[in-house]
A = this chain, B = another copy of it.
Amino acid sequence: MIEQLKPRLDVHNSEMPVLCQACEARHRGICGVLTPSQLVTLSKHTTKQVVSPEQQIAFEGETTKRFANILHGVVKLSKLTADGRQQIVGLQFAPDFMGRPFSKENDYAVEAATEVRLCSFPRSTLEQLTTESPELEHRLHQQTLKELGEAREWMLTLGRKSASERVASFLHFIAMHINPEVSHTHGSQQFEIPLKRSDIADFLGLTIETVSRQFTRMRQAGVIKISNNRTIEIPDMAKLAALTETNIQD
């Protein structure tokens, strides 16, 4: 059902300030405002981390000591039952803020789904900044609301949709996040799926076999084209969108 947890990537011991790759031109040695949608304005003692896929960033249940901005890549949040069944409960994309502020416990595992570049900083920095700037908390609140909306949308998917609808919903979700500027109701799109089949299965509450069969079916139906298992082309987004709430069998 799940792959065993990999050794933890210790971002906590990397206190040496480094040049933030995303903003070095403007803030030498300090990681500052990166983009208009960047959430946190960082000050000193920031670090950049490169983590490989599957490397664990924080264990479920552990106290959050550091936070980070995602500069590049996709991060998955997942929960486990005692006997090892896994459910991915969220995906985060650049430039999301990562970590649960104000809560002492992470109640899910955080892992890199693809190669990820992070701009990391300690809890104290965040707490100091939020007390100084109400605007910062407002932005964090906005992201939390967005994540809550996505989590609830996904509850509908997990609770009431068939396998074919779940896979269509997944592709629609990924398309929106990988190509946010493009219409997700018309036209064509192309992107790399940032997850392997077992991650998709854990996100959709299905098995890898069922996910694979649904991909095959959608490919045969002409809804998607796949190359290299990861590269997806969707000729007609409207057709895909329709499939997110239409049950297809055999």
Contacts and interface: CB of A to CB of B under 8 A. Distances in A.
A79 interface: yes
A101 B151 CA distance: 17
B79 A152 contact: yes
A245 B152 contact: no
B83 A155 contact: no
Contact of A160 (B86, B153, B154): B86
Given A87-B155, A102-B145, A148-B151, A160 B245 contact: no
Interface in A141-159: 141-142, 144-145, 147-149, 151-156, 158-159
Given A107-B149, A134-B134, A137-B134, A79 B156 contact: yes
B245 A155 contact: no
Interface string A195-222: 0000000101100000000000000000
Interface string A225-250: 00000000000000000000110000
Given A137-B134, A140-B141, A245-B81, A160 B205 contact: yes
A125 B247 CA distance: 44
A128 to B, nearest CB: 14
Interface of A: 77, 79, 81-83, 85-87, 89-90, 100-103, 107-108, 134, 137-138, 140-142, 144-145, 147-149, 151-156, 158-161, 202, 204-205, 245-246
12 contacts: A81-B160, A82-B245, A83-B245, A83-B246, A87-B160, A102-B138, A107-B153, A137-B137, A137-B138, A144-B148, A151-B152, A155-B158
